[in-house]
């Protein structure tokens, strides 16, 4: 398959993520959209890695990025746990998960 398809897919996913973050007010959905952007980046990494491996003479070529993706997933999992904990605390304090309630530092 040509690389273009992967790139367009990743672009679409990323754009959906960005628009979601910008427009939605629900903290959990924003969170999900962030994950979407993260995974769009992961998809690109894997896709470029695959292409690179096909054109290279080295046997190990292309494995670096795929390993890197695993690291991203691990870190993302840790981040999710922290982020969800924050959202839980937020709900306990404000009885809402609307991020627009969190503008009290403004004044």
Partner 1 sequence: MSNTLQIVWLIPFLPLIGFLINGLGRKQLSKTLSGFIGSSVILASFLISIFVFLQVKSGNTHVAHYFDFINTGSLKVGFDFQIDQLSSLFLLIVTGVGFLIHVYSTSYMHEEESKDFAKFFAYLNLFIFSMLLLVMGGNYIIMFIGWEGVGLCSYLLIGFWFKDNSNNDAAKKAFVMNRIGDFGFLLAVFWLIAKLGTTDYHGVFNNIDRLSLFDITGITLLLFVGATGKSAQIPLYTWLPDAMAGPTPVSALIHAATMVTAGIYMIARSNILFTMAPFTQSVIAVIGLATAVIAATIALKQNDIKKVLAYSTVSQLGYMFLALGVGAYTGAVFHVMTHAFFKALLFLGAGSVIHAMGGEQDMRNMGGLKKHMSITHITFLLGCLTIAGMPPFAAFFSKDQILAEAFEKNLVYWVVGVLTAFMTAFYMFRLYGMTFLGKFRGTHEQEHHLHESPSAITLPLIILAILSVIGGWIGIPEIFMHGGDRLETFLEPVFSKSNLLIESLHQKHELSHNTEYALMAVSVIGALIALVYAWNKFSRYEKSTTEETGIGKIIANKWYVDEFYNAIIVKPMQSLAGFLNSIVEKKAIDGFVNGVGKAVNYGSRQIRLLQTGQVSAYMLMMVVATLILFIIQLFL
Judged by the rule CB under 8 A, the positions of this chain that interact with partner 1 are 18, 21-23, 25, 99-100, 102-106
Cβ-Cβ contacts under 8 Å for 104 (sequence gap 6 or more):
none
Calculate the alpha carbon distances from 78 to 59, 60, 71, 84 in Å.
32, 29, 11, 10
Shortest Å distance, C-beta 18 to partner 1: 6
What residues contact residue 97 under an 8 Å CB cut-off, 6+ apart? 26, 27, 28, 87, 90, 91
- For the bound state, the minimum distance from the C-beta of residue 53 to partner 1, rounded and expressed in Å, comes to 28
Nearest distance from C-beta of residue 30 to partner 1, angstroms: 8
Nearer to partner 1, 32 or 53 (CB): 32
CB of 99 to partner 1, least distance (A): 5
Q: What is the DSSP letter of 59?
A: S
Which residues fall within 8 angstroms of residue 81, CB to CB, at 6 or more apart? none
| Closest to partner 1 by CB, 16 or 53 | 16
Q: Which is nearer to partner 1, 60 or 103 (CB)?
A: 103
- Output 25 or 28, the one with its CB closest to partner 1: 25
């Amino acid at each position: 398959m040509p690389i273009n398809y992967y790139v367009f897919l990743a672009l679409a996913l990323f754009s959906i993520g960005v628009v979601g973050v910008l427009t939605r007010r629900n903290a959990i959905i924003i969170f999900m959209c962030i994950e979407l952007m993260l995974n769009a980046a992961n998809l690109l990494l894997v896709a470029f890695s695959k292409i690179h491996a096909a054109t290279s003479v080295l046997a190990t070529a292309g494995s670096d990025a795929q390993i890197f993706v695993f690291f991203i997933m691990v870190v993302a999992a840790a981040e999710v746990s922290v982020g969800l904990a924050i959202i839980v605390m937020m709900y306990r304090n404000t009885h809402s998960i609307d991020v627009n309630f969190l503008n009290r530092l403004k004044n």
